[in-house]
Amino acid sequence: MRKFKTEKRLKKIEKVVTARQFSLRVVLENIHDPHNVSAIFRTCDAVGVPKVDLLYTQETFPKISRVSSASSKKWVEQEKYDSTEKCIQQLKKEGFKIYCTTLSENAENFYKLDLTEKVAIVLGNEHLGVSKEISNLSDKDIYIPMRGMIQSLNVSVAAAVILYETQRQRALKGMYEKSELLKNELEEIINNWCNK
């Protein structure tokens, strides 16, 4: 049974759920600062990422701040993994291509990629970056082009840059206009959100 305050709120929920990009996933590998994690969740909600995988093999699982995430953790699902292999196996089983953000020599400029495909973007630890293990299991290493002396962005900023380019490409293809889900799947999520 749906519980909502106003028709306006219901319309907003229907619009947001319809625009969710179930073919887009974000994986956070051992990100240390919970404020960075919360900021990434906020960006994920803003561009329609429905789920974030938290892969923590060295760091402890982060506590996501209600303040810096602006309650986005309420609207973005999370899956926890303590095994890189299990995380990647699950993503590949679901049909995702895995793109790791890294400064490796074979990394490709992410602006040149088709981000309208079923992709999972992996972001790594603030100091160590992504692990060699996950890079080896991924389909591509990607990088954000930099013109300054410093060769990397804060991880939450990097996530925003990549996700907003992804949103731009998807919006041009009209991917936010029609749900990727079947009608009954969509209805189930809408009902769930109405009770949040």
For residue range 1-60, list pLDDT tens digits in order.
455 568 888 899 999 999 999 999 999 999 999 999 999 999 999 999 999 999 999 988
Interaxial angle between packed helices 183-194 and 7-19, expressed in degrees from 0 to 180 and rounded to the nearest 10: 130
Sorted by where each starts, the structural domains of the chain and their CATH numbers stand as: 23-186 (3.40.1280.10)
- Residue-wise pLDDT tens digits, 92-135: 999 999 999 998 889 999 999 999 999 999 999 998 899 999 99
User: Is residue 71 scored above 90 in pLDDT?
Assistant: no
Can you tell me the mean pLDDT for 157-166?
98
User: Is residue 69 scored above 80 in pLDDT?
Assistant: no
Distances (CA, A) of 163 to 58, 84, 133, 157, 158: 25, 22, 23, 10, 8
Sheet hosting strand 51-55, strand order edge to edge: 77-81, 51-55, 24-29, 119-123, 97-101, 140-143, 108-109
Q: Give the predicted TM-score (pTM) of the model.
A: 0.92
User: Is residue 193 scored above 50 in pLDDT?
Assistant: yes
pLDDT attached to residue 151: 83
The single-letter code of the amino acid at 6 is T
Can you tell me the mean pLDDT for 132-142?
95
Residue 113 near residue 120, CB atoms below 8 Å: no
- Residue-wise pLDDT tens digits, 180-190: 999 999 999 99
pLDDT attached to residue 65: 62
Distance CA 170, CA 179 (A): 12
Among all chains, which residue has been given the structure tokens 């991880």?
155
Interaxial angle between packed helices 34-47 and 155-172, expressed in degrees from 0 to 180 and rounded to the nearest 10: 10
